[in-house]
Amino acid sequence: EAQVTQNPRYLITVTGKKLTVTCSQNMNHEYMSWYRQDPGLGLRQIYYSMNVEVTDKGDVPEGYKVSRKEKRNFPLILESPSPNQTSLYFCASSRSGYSYEQYFGPGTRLTVT
């Protein structure tokens, strides 16, 4: 089954404790992206990757890092999480090009206390 998976689905952590949210897709997609969803703000792009070893900032990259060492994986790293990063995070993938629909993972709900 074609899918995007994220782990963990739920995470509660404390300020400053480094964490990684994993994202994996099995569709051989070149393009992957991370979004955060906040009430009243919709979804905003954090980082994206056009292919292996090619990543760049989206609209709200502060406080986040990403890496793309393999085509299928695109982890999101919070080196020093803060409460304002409490949010619902989605990973997405698509074939290259903005005319292609993006496929979304189930989401990771992160709470930073």
Partner 1 sequence: AQSVTQPDIHITVSEGASLELRCNYSYGATPYLFWYVQSPGQGLQLLLKYFSGDTLVQGIKGFEAEFKRSQSSFNLRKPSVHWSDAAEYFCAVGQNSGGSNYKLTFGKGTLLTVNP
Footprint on this chain of partner 1 (rule: CB under 8 A):
4, 31, 33, 40-45, 48, 50, 54, 56, 58, 90, 92, 94, 96-107
Which lies closer to partner 1 via its Cβ, residue 3 or residue 15? 3
Min. distance of Cβ 71 from partner 1 in angstroms?
16
Min. distance of Cβ 5 from partner 1 in angstroms?
10
CB 37 within 8 A of CB 25: no
User: Which residue carries 């292609």 as its tokens?
Assistant: 100
Chain-centroid distance, C-alpha 28: 17
Q: Rounded to an integer, what distance in angstroms lies between the CA atom of residue 38 and that of residue 107? A: 12
